[in-house]
């Protein structure tokens, strides 16, 4: 265990945004840099509820991950109404122009969500209805049309600033 002069408490960071804004890419880059990062959609932290055919977070699993991080920042990426169930030290909204989001959805390979016209209509409806709410509660908003490395640099700097540490 670190002594009090070197210990920096963890920072719980929510990375949120509409489909196609780059959440999964950010998680991959954070992991590449050695960070503890989870994609709610890809890390078995969410499931589709047959009652409403929507993906919901597994709250107990996310809570467990957040509780485990003692001395390192933990980054959780996703967008669902369940994100309000948690106390975040930093809320980062990833945003992109509508055309960029739709192009990313049509061309991504790791996740097929957003390829159908029905799914794209849902994304656009969420962009109009949900993103303004996310903007109001975000501590940091990043336009993800900039290079991925610059997006991640901004997130890491903000996380370090949230607890006063330096990388």
pLDDT digits (tens, 9 = 90+) for 20-44: 899 999 999 999 999 999 999 887 8
Higher-confidence residue: 80 or 54?
A: 80
**Mean pLDDT of the chain, nearest integer:** 85
Q: What is the CATH number of the domain that holds 46?
A: 3.40.50.300
pLDDT digits (tens, 9 = 90+) for 72-121: 789 999 988 889 988 899 999 999 998 988 888 888 777 777 677 888 88
Kindly state whether residue 34 falls inside one of the protein's structural domains: yes
Is 2 contained in some domain? no
Looking at residue 114, what is its pLDDT? Answer: 66
Which pLDDT score, from 0 to 100, does residue 89 have? 92
Q: Is residue 165 part of a domain?
A: no
Kindly state whether residue 3 falls inside one of the protein's structural domains: no
In a domain, 87, yes or no: yes
Assess if residue 162 is contained within a domain.
no
Q: What is the mean pLDDT of residues 146-162?
A: 94
* Selected residue with higher pLDDT from 55 and 37: 37
Q: Check: pTM over 0.75? Answer yes or no.
A: yes
Kindly report the backbone phi and psi dihedral angles of residue 22, in degrees, each rounded to the nearest multiple of 5, phi listed first. Answer: 115, 15
Write out the two tokens for 1: 């265990």
Structural domains counted in the chain: 1
From its phi and psi, is residue 164 left (phi > 0), alpha (psi between -120 and 50) or beta? Answer: left
Establish if 6 belongs to a structural domain.
no
Neighbours of 11 (CB within 10 A): 21
Higher pLDDT, 121 or 154: 154
93: DSSP letter? E
pLDDT at residue 70 is higher than 80: no
Average pLDDT value for residue range 141-154: 97
What is the radius of gyration, based on Cα positions, of the chain? 16
Q: Which two tokens stand for residue 47?
A: 């499931």
pLDDT at 51: 86
For residue 117, what are the domain limits? 12-157
For residue 5, tell me if it sits in a domain. no
């Amino acid at each position: 265990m670190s002594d009090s002069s070197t210990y920096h408490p963890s920072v719980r960071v929510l990375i949120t945004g509409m489909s196609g804004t780059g959440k999964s890419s950010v998680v991959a880059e954070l992991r590449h840099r050695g960070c503890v990062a989870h994609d709610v959609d890809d890390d078995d932290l969410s499931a589709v509820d047959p009652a409403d055919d929507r993906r919901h977070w597994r709250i107990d699993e996310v809570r467990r991950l957040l509780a485990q991080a003692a001395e390192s920042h933990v980054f959780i990426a996703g967008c669902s109404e369940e994100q309000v169930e948690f106390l975040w030290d930093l809320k980062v909204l990833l945003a992109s122009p509508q055309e960029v989001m739709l192009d990313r959805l049509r061309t991504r390979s790791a996740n097929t969500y957003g390829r159908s016209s029905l799914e794209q209509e849902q994304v656009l409806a969420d962009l109009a209805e949900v993103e303004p709410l996310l903007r109001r509660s975000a501590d940091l908003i990043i336009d993800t049309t900039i290079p991925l490395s610059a997006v991640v640099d901004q997130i890491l700097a903000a996380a370090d600033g949230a607890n006063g540490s330096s990388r």
